[in-house]
Chains A and B, each alone.
Chain A
Amino acid sequence: MSKQSENSAAKASVKGIALMLICATCLALGQLIWKFYDVYGVVALLAGFAVYGFGALAMIFAYRYGELSVLQPLNSFSYVVSLALGAAVLHESVTAPKYAGVALILIGLILISGGKRS
């Protein structure tokens, strides 16, 4: 029984992973908002910081629910989000290498987070 409770301190829980994905989204969103500094000025700076701060809170709470080596790399989901936001909002072009890059990152994220659950 005690061996089982040792094993249940497993890699990461769904809660931790979800919180990290939220954090990564906030990273990308915050930077997108900062991009609009030339249009909205200080308001954009503050809004970006607020989003960043929310993401930081999500990350700190996420760290309660899993291993650092599983949760921290999930920050790279921000690259995926920033590509999508860049294409949708800023009309940045998505070239073939970028599609391949995003696919690789997603595969990597699935590999890392796909271990044992708690």
Chain B
Amino acid sequence: MNYILVVAMTGIAAFASFFLKKAANSGSIIMIIKNYRLWLGGMLYVISALINIWLLQKMPYSVVVPLGAICYVWTMLISRFLLGETITIRKIAGIVCILAGIVLLAV
């Protein structure tokens, strides 16, 4: 159950940044503020943070934090399939390094 929540937490956070990205590109500052995606993204971030806080009560910090980094994988997938961004070997290598580094930090 907890691991379902981890997927939810990281997936929701990834979608949050997706909506924020869409909002950020929508034009002037006024247009950004008027864009529903800004507020949807913000709300999703809050929900993800709440799940994060809940999980920290249930699982060790040294487990929750590295699992949170899975969010970077979701973001990469979202950016490829929903934003049309190119996923290069370089980007994948970078994410792998970051994930490995985060795991080492939690050791």
Residues of A within 8 A of B (CB): 56, 59-64, 67-70, 72-73, 76, 79, 83, 97-98, 100-115
Contacts and interface: CB of A to CB of B under 8 A. Distances in A.
Task: Indicate the member of A73, A79, A100, A114 with the most B CB atoms within 10 Å.
Answer: A73
Nearest to B82: A68
Contacts, number: 113
Interface residues of B, number: 38
B89 to A, nearest CB: 10
14 contacts: A60-B23, A67-B83, A67-B85, A69-B79, A69-B83, A72-B72, A72-B79, A73-B72, A97-B104, A97-B107, A105-B105, A107-B97, A108-B101, A115-B88
B56 interface: no
A103 to B, nearest CB: 7
